[in-house]
Chains A and B, each alone.
Chain A
Amino acid sequence: MDHFRIGFLPLVDAALPILARELGFAEDEGIALDLIRDSSWATVRDRLVYGRSDAAHLLAPLAIATTLGLNRPAFPLSVPFVLGLNGNAITLAPSLAAAVCAEGVLEDAVTTGRKLAMLIRARADEGARLRLGVVHRYSSHNYMLQYWLRGSGVNVAEDVEILTIAPPLAADALATGEIDGICVGEPWNSVAVERGVGVIINVTSRIWLRGVEKVLALPTARAAAEPELIQRLVRALYAAGRAFVDPALYASNAAILARSEYLDGSAELIERAIADRIKLASGHAPVDIPDFMFQHREAANFPWVSQAAWLYAQMVKAGHVAQSAEGYEAAKAVFRPDIYRAAFAGTDVPLPSASAKLEGGIDAPLAVGSMQGRLLLGPDRFFDGRAFDPDALDDYLTQ
């Protein structure tokens, strides 16, 4: 048995490492998995960088930022496996939510975005800029929120304040008025809704359907030194994904995640996210949001290099990194489809033959080329209908 430690934050999308341990998939691969819970991404990252964990449940952009050395010495990380797509929501204080959508109804992101842009403009004109929280500077939350706001006509740099709030503090920060809204993962939107301090106005799957969220990140040196162990870990996580999407296991998976050593929260709220049934506002029934979280099907766990490329483009747009050819290559190299392919060679797991695709280019389910198995990819649209071609970064950024 090989001992292996994975750091995580208490979020529903930490499910695959947790289920890999609790349902015995790690053990099946000869791995004794230990999970280390922390309360900030900075600490998850520090444990990983200083060898106090072997891998981490990490924000995809934070894996790239750590590799590029943004605000700290560079430390190369590799991502052999995506832990999930989407799963975050945008929650506003109830009084403000009333101005942008009908309570308890999830309207399309274009309409809600336009109304939110008007609200933001009005507040900026009054000299009281809206304060929106994200969970980390280098988070998909930040980049998807900014993408939505910019695409809705908001001058993000001037008219709105975006600040960092840890997920467990989100509901409190909304209640005290410290922030007007937040983009955060589950169960923290639902916690705010239950307390009556927030109303969900949008979900990230309506900003970029199939958008990359958390990843499994580990030191690149470690991936090189122990390829066989990492492949076994990746297979265990894949098996956990299969269990995560099994409706017969929703309730028992939620009960496992709710335990004090994991999310330490309400199994009922956690199950809503797992089942893609989200209560948008207090006093309303949960509504179906198909593909709210997407953890398994359609090669969701495959680390598409084009997804890392999209994140790099957003980091440039946000002013977090100065664009350079070397930086772009380094960012893309964080995602490691080669490890994923090696882990599943000769199995029945579908493997795409390409490592990159046109992001946002699929309207209807599309059969794509595969090395093994049959692979059908579902729609992956951005809310504004734009697409991202990783081979045309300059054009994308100047558009």
Chain B
Amino acid sequence: MQDAVRIAIVDESAARAAVIEEGLREAGLTDLHVFVERHGLAARIEAFAADVVLMNLENPSRDMLEESFSLSRALARPIAMFVDQSDEEAIAEAVDAGISAYVVDGLRKERIKPVLDLAVRRFQAFARLQGELAEARSKLADRDTIDKAKAILMKRRGLSEPDAYKMLRDHAMQSNRRIADVADAVITAEKVMGGGL
């Protein structure tokens, strides 16, 4: 396709890069390449001759990449940050999502805007997924902690499993803490007292 926009995705997180790549490909933006490896990044991007470079904001290579852009400016390949400085709202949204974009000068706004919007949505989706994953992990860890505390109480107090759980729950309610936190305290106490669990 003659007027396809050529996109470079730069991200140290291969997983996030894949999520963004998939989104762009689904939208028919197939002339793209993902750059995960930091070494030789500037030279490889230059060789790829991208129209748009998408890069995560927390990427430590941003300063190095901007330096290389300012050098290539001398070679008449000017690159400006973001598509249109007047579109403050879109830029603020991108910054909030954690993305920066470099666009070759002269590329029309209507051709870049969809790429940026899509990248922003994908970044947001990835952040949401990560949040959900972290929550699921912490729930699993909580359940493990509670199981251990129940076992301690069953052994020490001769309680049944439901009673051990009830004890943890009642304590949590009285002290306005999470059950997992009370369970954690029980395990810590057991360790301090030299218990075998």
- Interface of A with B (CB < 8 Å)? 38-43, 46-47, 50-52, 70-73, 135-137, 163-166, 168-169, 176, 178
Contacts and interface: CB of A to CB of B under 8 A. Distances in A.
A39 B64 CA distance: 12
Nearest to B56: A43
Contacts of B91: 50
Contacts of A166: 60-61, 63-64
B57 interface: yes
Interface in B6-59: 38-39, 57-59
Given A42-B62, A51-B92, A164-B64, 6 more contacts: A38-B58, A42-B63, A73-B80, A73-B85, A137-B67, A168-B60
Nearest to B88: A50
B85 A164 contact: no
Contacts of A163: 64, 67
9 contacts: A40-B63, A43-B100, A135-B63, A136-B67, A137-B66, A163-B67, A164-B63, A166-B61, A166-B64
Nearest to A65: B70
B173 interface: no
B118 interface: no
Nearest to A70: B70
Nearest to A51: B92
A43 B73 CA distance: 21
B59 to A, nearest CB: 7
Contacts of B81: 46, 72
Contact of A39 (B38, B60, B88, B96): B60
Interface of B: 38-39, 57-64, 66-67, 69-70, 73, 80-81, 85, 88, 91-92, 95-96, 100
Contacts of A41: 63
A47 B58 contact: no
Given A71-B73, A168-B60, A42 B95 contact: no
Contacts of B66: 42, 71, 137, 164
Given A50-B95, A52-B96, A164-B67, A43 B61 contact: no
Nearest to B93: A50
Contacts of A136: 63, 67
Contacts of A70: 70
A71 B70 contact: yes
A224 B85 CA distance: 23
Contacts of A169: 38, 60
Given A51-B92, A72-B81, A178-B39, A165 B58 contact: no
B116 to A, nearest CB: 14
Which of A38, A71, A136, A176 has the most B CB atoms < 10 Å from its CB?
A71
Nearest to B39: A178
Contacts of A52: 92, 95-96
B44 to A, nearest CB: 14
Contacts of A137: 63, 66-67, 70
A46 B64 contact: no
A43 B64 contact: no
A322 B70 CA distance: 14
A135 to B, nearest CB: 7
Contacts of A43: 57-58, 62, 100
When A and B form their complex, which 10 residue pairs have the shortest distance between CB atoms, in order from nearest?
Answer: A166-B60, A40-B62, A42-B62, A164-B67, A39-B60, A164-B64, A71-B70, A137-B67, A40-B63, A43-B57
